[in-house]
Chains A and B, each alone.
Chain A
Amino acid sequence: MMKQISLLKATRVLLPSVLATLLLVGPVLFAPTPGVDGEGVAWAGKFDRGGGGGGKNARQGGGGKKARPQKSKIDRKPRASSARQGSISRASKERPAARQQKQARPKAKPQAKSQAKPQARAKPQQRASGSAKDQPFARKDARKPQQKASSSKSRENLAKRQQSQSQRDQVKRKQTSDRQAKQRSAQKTDTSRAKATQDKQTQRKAQRTERDKQVREGRQEYAANKQDIRSDRKKAAEELQQNRFDHRDEAREDRQDHRDEAREDRQKHQKNLANERRDLYEDIYDDRRYWGNDNYWDDDDDGHHYSNDDDDDDNGWLWGIGGAVIGGVAGYAIGAAVNEPPEGTVAVPVGDVPYQYYGGAFYEPAPSGTGYVTTAAPVGAAVEAPPIDCTIVFGPEDEGYCYFQGAFFIYDESAAQYVVVEPPTGTAVTYLPPGYEELTVAGTQYMKLGGTYYRPYYEGDEVTYVVSEV
Chain B
Amino acid sequence: MRDLRGIVTAVLLFISPVLCAESTSPRVVDAKADRIMERACEQLKSAPAFSVTADISYDDVLESGLKVQYQRYSEVVLDRPNHLRVDGESDKGTRTILYDGKTFTVFDPDENMYVQAPAPDTIDATLDKLEERGVSVPLDDLMSSEPCAWLHEGILDGFYGGRHYLDGSFAHHLLFRAAAADFQVWIRGGEVPVIRRVIIEYREKLGVPRYEARLSDWNFRPAIETGEFSFTPPEGASRIEFRAANNVGEGDRP
Contact = CB atoms under 8 A, between A and B. Distances in A.
A459 B139 contact: no
Which one of A54, A72, A81 has the highest number of Cβ atoms from chain B below 10 Å of its Cβ? A72
A269 B202 CA distance: 19
Given A54-B70, A67-B61, A270-B206, A72 B17 contact: no
B254 to A, nearest CB: 5
B231 to A, nearest CB: 14
A278 B24 contact: no
B129 to A, nearest CB: 13
A66 B140 CA distance: 24
A90 interface: yes
Contacts of B206: 267, 270-271
Interface in B60-76: 60-66, 68, 70
Given A70-B211, A72-B200, A273-B254, A461 B106 contact: yes
A112 to B, nearest CB: 15
B190 to A, nearest CB: 22
A113 to B, nearest CB: 20
B92 A458 contact: no
A75 B153 contact: yes
A457 interface: yes
A93 interface: yes
B6 to A, nearest CB: 9
Interface string B121-160: 0000000000101111111111000000110011010000
Interface residues of A, number: 77
Give the interface centre of A74, A87, A90, A263 by most chain B CB atoms within 10 Å: A74
Contacts of B181: 78, 82
Given A66-B63, A270-B254, A430-B251, A457 B92 contact: no
Contacts of B153: 75, 79, 83
A244 B149 CA distance: 34
Nearest to B182: A78
A278 B21 contact: no
A274 B64 contact: yes
Nearest to B59: A70
Given A98-B17, A456-B240, A457-B242, A462 B247 contact: no
A423 interface: no
Nearest to A463: B111
A101 interface: yes
B13 interface: yes
Contacts of B64: 51, 274, 277-278, 281
A392 B248 CA distance: 13
Contacts of A458: 106, 113, 115, 133, 240-243
A85 B211 CA distance: 20
A82 B240 CA distance: 35
* Residue of B113, B139, B154, B156 with most chain A CB atoms under a 10 A cut-off: B154
A148 interface: no
B52 interface: no
A394 B253 contact: yes
B155 to A, nearest CB: 9
A218 B248 CA distance: 82
Contacts of B61: 67
B80 interface: no
Contact of B141 (A75, A263, A273): A75
Given A89-B179, A241-B17, A466 B247 contact: yes
B191 interface: no
Contacts of A464: 243, 249-250
B9 to A, nearest CB: 9
B238 to A, nearest CB: 5
A274 B238 CA distance: 36
Interface string A345-379: 00000000000000000000000000000000000
A121 interface: no
Contacts of A74: 139, 141-142, 150, 183, 198, 200
Given A277-B64, A398-B248, 8 more contacts: A51-B66, A74-B150, A86-B154, A274-B64, A278-B64, A394-B253, A428-B247, A460-B133
Interface of B: 10, 13-14, 17, 20-21, 24, 26, 56, 58-66, 68, 70, 90-93, 95, 97, 106, 108, 111, 113, 115, 131, 133-142, 149-150, 153-154, 156, 178-181, 183, 198, 200, 202, 204-206, 209, 211, 213, 238, 240-243, 247-254
Interface of A: 51-55, 58, 63-76, 78-79, 81-83, 85-90, 93-94, 97-98, 101-102, 237, 240-241, 244-245, 263, 266-267, 269-271, 273-274, 277-278, 281, 391-394, 396, 398, 403, 426-430, 445, 455-464, 466
